[in-house]
């Protein structure tokens, strides 16, 4: 998609580069108006019972199913994906997330009133509530424009927020599709709005001060958004890039591993934030496995015919990065399963082996159909190799020794891991998803992810009938001694008897703290210890 003359963006097909439709770029005044409208909608939506919010999400699920073929064709055209990839990677995760919220959201967001109060808070009830932020700005990428816009959008709505979203400038027709779905289910006016444009539009959106920014994209874009949001300041959640590793021990089911590696590395032509971009194979099976992997890669098909495993590149600009990583690896001694071939907008997948960490392909995010393979000998070595990355998004470990595999996974500096499976763990609606290191921070999916679209409000209600409290004025040396004794009684060394015995005089200042039904027990205890006086 290219910025056209004046103030429009022209959408193009990822299949052949042909123009599809032009869209007006949102200007600063447009976005200011969007924010004002969203604030009104957010206030009303926050007061809407969660059961009613969820009924809209159920209607959205129905609408997606009714329009599934149209949605699929739109995404094939805009992203270059094959149809099966659209179903698996774009549509299914959305439907699964809606189902998860239908079953769990009310409980996840329910107020908590069972918070235990410490001794210093008698006759007090502590509670925790969650409130929606208000207006959430969602900035989404071009590789999964439906899922990575709708999933956080749905989460924000269920939590009680309004949403203003900006898709990548490469994905504007998908944003238009999302608005059509929202109109179809008759969401309240201005509750979900779209702004259109590139980086400057995103900057203007942040400068209009939404209450929370959720962004999925590359590291540099994430840094820019974080810096911009810090000027106001606005909380941000960032899901950034990855350089995900796949660790294969010699005892693994290698037939399964080979098929998983192909899928993990080449699904969506490698344009997945959790693609397998580093494959470590134990030296005991390395040579034979590389041969099998190369043979299996050669059988993969590209294109949008009756059969097709890999679709088109969404943007040809990504090919320049893939090509640079490929050439750098060969120049530094790596071997390749073939020449890098781009057929129109379709890239043949390539296996690289005998790679090392001096190569760009093992350090920088490729986001394309290259699979670099490196040998390792010991468990400690492969853990060190896997952790030798600026990224920490997802990882998979492969071994028939499940206990060993889980032990290894827990030592890896990532936000998510899977044993004997690849990528699929990210589609688990109940598991919070997000990264560490340069892969970002914050989580979505699961209970934790839903709560992160709200903020915590803590409350304390006192039912004390006392006219005074020991911590209130006036202060004096006597009050200092009482407070010191109180602290020693609560946290000092020795048994309860010993702590009460040595601080009995100080504790007299707190005799009124005991509620009416406990005062006599407190009095009797002090009398028994020989330090009590009449109340």
User: What tokens were used for 154?
Assistant: 């749905």
pLDDT tens-place string over residues 12-24: 999 999 999 999 9
Q: Has residue 525 got a pLDDT over 80?
A: no
Return the pLDDT at 534: 42
Q: Has residue 526 got a pLDDT over 80?
A: no
In angstroms, the CA 300 to CA 199 distance is 36
**Ramachandran angles phi, psi of 301, nearest 5°:** -110, 150
Q: Has residue 531 got a pLDDT over 60?
A: no
Return the pLDDT at 473: 94
Q: In the beta sheet, which residues pair with residue 457? A: 129
Mean pLDDT, residues 400-411: 98
pLDDT tens-place string over residues 376-396: 999 999 999 999 999 999 999
Return the pLDDT at 252: 98
**Which residue carries 């409130």 as its tokens?**
131
Return the pLDDT at 60: 98
Contact 372, 362 (CB under 8 A): yes
Within 13 Å, how many C-alpha atoms sit on residue 189's CB side?
3
66 is catalytic: no
239 is catalytic: yes
Q: Has residue 50 got a pLDDT over 70?
A: yes
Contact 414, 392 (CB under 8 A): yes
pLDDT tens-place string over residues 267-278: 999 999 999 999
In angstroms, the CA 535 to CA 13 distance is 84
pLDDT tens-place string over residues 215-255: 999 999 999 999 999 999 999 999 999 999 999 999 999 99
Domains and CATH numbers, the chain: 17-110+123-240+448-457 (3.40.605.10), 244-427 (3.40.309.10), 477-528 (no CATH)
Pairing of strands 162-166, 440-441: unpaired
**Which residue carries 């969203």 as its tokens?**
38
**Which residue carries 């939404």 as its tokens?**
210
Position 504 confidence tier, pLDDT thresholds 50, 70, 90: confident
- Which of the residues 85, 90, 169, 273 is marked catalytic? 273
Contact 354, 333 (CB under 8 A): yes
Residues contacting 486, CB < 8 A, separation 6+: 120, 470, 503, 506, 507, 509, 510
In angstroms, the CA 367 to CA 117 distance is 51
In angstroms, the CA 353 to CA 124 distance is 65
Percent of the chain with pLDDT over 70: 94
Q: Tell me the pTM.
A: 0.93
User: What tokens were used for 271?
Assistant: 């344009």
In angstroms, the CA 102 to CA 89 distance is 21
pLDDT tens-place string over residues 424-477: 999 999 999 999 999 999 999 999 999 999 999 999 999 888 888 888 999 999
Position 5 confidence tier, pLDDT thresholds 50, 70, 90: very low
Contact 90, 481 (CB under 8 A): no
Instruction: State the CB neighbour count (10 A cutoff) for residue 89.
Output: 23
Return the pLDDT at 469: 87
Question: What letter would DSSP give residue 461?
Answer: E
- Which of the residues 85, 90, 169, 239 is marked catalytic? 239
Lowest mean pLDDT among 38-52, 279-293, 325-339, 452-466: 452-466
In angstroms, the CA 294 to CA 470 distance is 76
Position 523 confidence tier, pLDDT thresholds 50, 70, 90: low
Average predicted confidence (pLDDT) for the chain: 94
Q: In the beta sheet, which residues pair with residue 460? A: 126
pLDDT tens-place string over residues 146-183: 999 999 999 999 999 999 999 999 999 999 999 999 99
3-state secondary structure of 450: helix
Return the pLDDT at 4: 41
């Amino acid at each position: 998609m290219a910025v056209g003359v004046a103030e429009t963006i022209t959408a193009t097909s990822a299949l052949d580069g042909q123009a599809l439709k032009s869209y007006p770029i949102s200007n600063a005044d447009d976005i200011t108006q969007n924010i004002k409208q969203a604030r009104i909608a957010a206030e009303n939506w926050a007061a809407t019972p969660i059961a009613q919010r969820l009924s809209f999400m159920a209607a959205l699920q129905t609408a997606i199913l009714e329009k599934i073929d149209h949605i699929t064709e739109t995404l094939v055209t805009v992203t270059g994906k094959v149809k099966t990839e659209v179903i698996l990677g774009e549509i299914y995760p959305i439907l699964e997330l809606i189902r998860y919220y239908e079953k769990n959201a009310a409980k996840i967001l329910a107020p908590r009133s069972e918070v235990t109060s410490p001794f210093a808070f008698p006759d007090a009830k502590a509670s925790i509530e969650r409130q929606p932020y208000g207006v959430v700005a969602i900035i989404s990428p071009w590789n999964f424009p439906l899922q990575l816009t709708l999933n956080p959008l749905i989460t924000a709505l269920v939590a009680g927020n309004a949403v203003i979203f900006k898709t990548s400038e490469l994905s504007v027709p998908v944003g238009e599709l999302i608005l059509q779905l929202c109109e179809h289910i008759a969401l309240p006016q201005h509750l979900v709005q779209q702004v259109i444009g590139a980086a400057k539009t995103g900057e203007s959106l942040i400068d209009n001060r939404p209450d929370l920014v959720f962004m999925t994209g590359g590291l540099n874009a994430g840094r820019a958004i974080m810096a911009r949001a810090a000027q106001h300041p606005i909380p941000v959640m960032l899901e950034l890039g990855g350089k995900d590793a796949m660790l294969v021990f010699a005892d693994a089911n290698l037939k399964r591993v080979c098929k998983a590696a192909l899928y993990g590395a080449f699904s969506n032509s490698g344009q997945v934030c959790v693609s397998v971009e580093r494959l470590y194979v134990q030296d005991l099976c390395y040579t034979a496995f590389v041969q099998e992997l190369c043979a299996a890669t050669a059988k993969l098909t590209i294109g949008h015919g009756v059969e097709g495993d890999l679709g088109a590149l969404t943007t040809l600009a990504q090919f320049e990065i893939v090509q640079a990583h490929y050439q750098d690896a060969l120049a530094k001694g790596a071997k390749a399963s073939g020449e890098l071939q781009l057929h129109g907008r379709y890239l043949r997948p390539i296996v690289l082996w005998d790679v090392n960490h001096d190569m760009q392909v093992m350090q920088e995010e490729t986001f394309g159909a290259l699979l670099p393979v490196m040998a390792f000998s010991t468990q400690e070595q492969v853990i060190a190799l896997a952790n030798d990355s600026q990224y920490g998004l997802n990882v998979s470990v492969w071994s028939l020794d499940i206990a060993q595999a889980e032990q290894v996974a827990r030592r890896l500096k990532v936000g998510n891991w899977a044993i004997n499976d690849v990528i699929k763990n990210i589609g688990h609606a109940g598991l919070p998803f997000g990264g560490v290191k340069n892969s970002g921070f914050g989580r979505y999916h699961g209970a934790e992810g839903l709560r992160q679209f709200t903020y915590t409000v803590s409350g304390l209600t006192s039912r004390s009938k006392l006219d005074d409290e020991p911590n209130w004025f006036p202060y004096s040396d006597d009050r200092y001694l009482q407070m010191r004794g109180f602290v020693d009684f609560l946290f000092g060394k020795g048994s309860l008897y010993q702590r009460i015995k040595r601080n009995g005089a100080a504790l007299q200042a707190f005799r009124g703290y005991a509620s009416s039904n406990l005062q006599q027990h407190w009095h009797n205890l002090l009398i028994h210890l020989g330090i009590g006086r009449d109340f």
